[in-house]
A and B are shown apart, each in its own frame.
Chain A
Amino acid sequence: MTADPQTHHAVWEGNIEELKGLVSEKAFSGESMILNMGPQHPSTHGVLRVILELEGEEVLSCIPDVGFLHTGIEKNMEYKTYEKSIVMTDRMDYLNPMGNGLVYCLAMEKLFELDVPMRAQIARIVLAELTRINSHLVWMGIGGLDLGVTSTMTYAFREREVLLDIFEMVSGQRMMSTYFRPGGLWRDLPDEFEGAVQNVLDTFPAKIDDYDKIITQNPVFVDRTQGIGFISAEDAVAYGLTGAALRGSGVNWDIRKAMPYSSYEQFEFDVPLGQHGDVYDRFIVRIAEMRQSLRIIEQGMKRLQKEKGPFRSDNRKYVPPPRAELGRSMEAVIHHFKLWTEGFRPPKGEVYVSIEGPRGELGCFLASDGSPNPMRVHFRTPSFVNLSALEKLSKNHMIADLVGIIGSIDIVLGDCDR
């Protein structure tokens, strides 16, 4: 795409033959129109480019083009030690930094056979659920904005600020927290944490009721979302959809229930399900998930009051000793030096761990060759797989509905492109 020097209009110099096999024959005879949407489009949630074949306003085919945010995170992690590459995971899905760190730490812990103290496990759950609410708030704000409910954005970002303050309180960073470490947490939860989370528990239920009124009971919103972007339960599984996009089609599969990690099996919560598999059902599933997250956080905070044990494993081969120990133990000095210069040498092997992220199955495949750097790290990111179903979801819908469909599968392009 270049600009015409006289008119400054964009001129496409590409060849339509490049799209052969991707769009229908009509595009070549001129019966349908090819339109480029994005990558700098406000409703593509980041830098997503979609090539659309249109007949009037109807989308005949839709070809998503990703990779604009590809930053080589998997490659970079191979050049860092295991522990130092946790910072890279935060930058992947920037709305779910705690979840990315959690899945990477769980994969490491499975590979090393490292135990995590109960206090750290519960704290991880509480923070992962707060991150889920944070992510759903941004999704709701932007998704509402796309469909014309502009006020959601303001409310959602007001509430999100409260959560980001909590993340800053525990880790020192609002978004890129790097708080979870192999074997536990970076440091213990601060004293103010309990009050801050209690404040969330007290105020959020009423606010979520407000969102319910503003979005799901808004007749314009309901008309624009019901029956749009339908996918059946069988197709949803075949296309690899996970998370709320799968549960909106009525498939009861939540990794927190199916394969509990970090002691989720000790918590009581429900898995909200949709029935129709359309955009509206995916919206209400996520709103209901926020309420369930609050339930989990409430139970977690009660557990944290009782679990006053260590916040990190004391396996010194993988976990650095506390600062105070360095003054009196030569062993501790050696461990500290080894862990921060060379890193640890895990056993050889390959593991795959997945968690229920806000967008779906967030998996981490970790292959070790026995050296201090991971041989291969791969993230199965829900945005990537869910976005590949966009073509199926948006077929024969209007352009305006496409915007709602992209919102309903809740993509983060940093997560998709890695």
Chain B
Amino acid sequence: MSHPLDPKQTLTDTFGDAIEDSEEFRGELTVIVKAEKIIEVAQHLRDAEGLKYNLLSDITVVDYYPAEPRFGVCYHLYSMAFNRRLRLKVLWSDGDAPVPSMTKLWPSANWEEREAYDMMGIVFSGHPDMRRIFMPDDWQGYPQRKDYPLGYETVQFSFNYDEIAKHKPFAKK
């Protein structure tokens, strides 16, 4: 087995400007990467000797509203060979170019990215099946965002059936 490399140093050496920043908190390393380079960086982390981050545990999004850039898309990678974790983060705002999809490297990213789109409205490019995953297809807005209020769905009774059906064009199908 090869010698483990320092991921932060290796990425800075290999990708230079694509690595925007890195921070360490409670022993967890976070590397902030430019969105357009995320696939190259992830592929290097997955395949290079001494890194071998072979498991994509999770993709999740943090909403830093009202800060800009507003969203942080976090990729939690794990290396089975060297037993360590790494968090890649892409900063993204509404209107930015779509984040390249991870599905080509890890099929498990498929549903994780659909969840990120459904809950936070992150747009991914190159995703094979970008539909909402939890919410109904005709849902308005992205529920997990900070400017989306915590609400509830009105129960549909006979007296308010038509009023509620107006907001759900697909429900009649």
User: Hey, which bits of chain A sit against chain B, CB under 8 A?
Assistant: 13-14, 21-22, 66-67, 70, 72, 74-76, 78-79, 110-111, 113, 237-240, 251, 253, 258-259, 349-352, 354, 361, 363, 365, 367, 375-376, 378, 380, 384-385, 387-389, 392, 417
Contact = CB atoms under 8 A, between A and B. Distances in A.
Given A79-B150, A385-B112, A388-B110, A380 B129 contact: no
A21 B83 CA distance: 38
A267 to B, nearest CB: 18
Contacts of B128: 21
Interface string B99-113: 000000011101110
Given A13-B173, A363-B58, A417-B134, A74 B144 contact: yes
A380 B62 contact: no
B108 to A, nearest CB: 3
B26 interface: yes
Most buried by A among B25, B58, B63, B87: B58
B80 A253 contact: yes
Contacts of B54: 237
Contacts, number: 98
Interface residues of B, number: 37
Contact of A349 (B26, B85, B173): B26
A365 B136 CA distance: 25
Contact of B85 (A21, A352, A375, A387): A352
A124 B80 CA distance: 26
A13 to B, nearest CB: 5
9 contacts: A13-B173, A67-B132, A251-B80, A258-B80, A258-B83, A361-B57, A384-B111, A385-B58, A388-B111
B167 to A, nearest CB: 17
A363 B25 CA distance: 17
Given A378-B60, A380-B57, A380-B58, A70 B173 contact: no
Given A66-B133, A361-B57, A380 B76 contact: yes
Contacts of B87: 350, 352
A238 B107 contact: yes
A39 to B, nearest CB: 13
A75 B143 contact: yes
A350 B74 CA distance: 10
B58 A21 contact: no
B134 A392 contact: no
Given A238-B108, A384-B111, A351 B25 contact: yes
B55 interface: yes
B85 A367 contact: no
A76 to B, nearest CB: 7
Contacts of B107: 238-240, 388-389, 392
Nearest to A387: B111
A354 B74 CA distance: 15
B80 A365 contact: no
A352 B106 contact: no
A365 B58 contact: yes
Given A352-B58, A388-B108, 18 more contacts: A70-B134, A74-B119, A78-B150, A113-B26, A238-B107, A239-B107, A240-B55, A240-B57, A350-B25, A363-B57, A365-B60, A365-B76, A378-B58, A385-B111, A388-B107, A388-B110, A388-B111, A417-B134
